[in-house]
Amino acid sequence: MSESRFTVYPALDIASGALAAPGGTARASVLGDSPAQVLDSLADAGAQWVHLVDLDRARGTGANDDAIAMAMAAAHARGLLVQLSGGVRDATSLAQAVQKGADRVNLACESINDPGWLQQVFADPPCDLNLCVDVRSGRLISRGSAVDGGPLDDALEWLATLNPRLVVTDIDADGALSGPPTALLDAVAGRGFEVIASGGVRDSADLGRLHTMAAAGVSGAIVGAALHAGMLAPGDCFAR
């Protein structure tokens, strides 16, 4: 699968200072027993990026600064680029993420409720940025805070003036291995946004379906549960 038009971002989640199941509690991965081992497996398989998540920051229950710093250093040592996510919702948390050395930062969906700040950030971004769009039943619901951001269509209308790259998640599909929300992705990409799909990927067939949407604006997919559970082989994800 070529990454020239479509990139797979393997998710590496950190909770309580340890490797965690995507969206869940601490546990090992079939790719390794520690973040460093998982990163070695991903680099050996040909990954270009890792999607590194501080789950505790995302949930507002703490932070994993030391573990995140160690994982980021290990990723960079293996030539992997880092897309950092988890609780980046304001100027302070964005500055901290940039200081950590992330190659790209995901802004939390909750930040959409501060349009003035978003306009400032995207007018003069401090680094490469994505904006997370977490959706349930046609509404923005920030996974970290459960804040209701209103109808998706209304948000997309004004976000079009900023033209951010969007990480689109169907909350009910995330971690459920129920298949990617292709209708939602198609609808958002159809509004002119570059989209990274997040959640639901079960196997290489799902990745193939998303890859066919590249020309429509779906430029990549974040893959977590299926990869760590061994349902999806790294060799099926990354260009060699």
Catalytic machinery residues:
13, 134
Tokens of 237: 């994800």
Q: Among 166, 170, 187, 189, which residue's Cα sits nearest to residue 179?
A: 170
- Quote the DSSP letter at residue 108: P
β-strands 49-54, 7-15 pairing:
parallel
| Cβ pair 170, 181 in contact under 8 A | yes
Q: Is 13 exposed, middle or buried (0-12, 13-18, 19+ CB in 10 A)?
A: buried
β-strands 195-198, 139-141 pairing:
unpaired
Q: Among 196, 142, 193, which residue's Cα sits nearest to residue 171?
A: 142
H/E element, 117: helix 115-123
22, HSE (Cβ side, Cα atoms, 13 Å):
26
| Cβ pair 22, 11 in contact under 8 A | yes
| 160: amino acid identity, one letter | A
Residues sharing a CB contact under 8 Å with residue 77, sequence separation 6 or more, in sequence order: none
Q: Give the span between the Cα atoms of 37 and 190, in whole angstroms.
A: 39
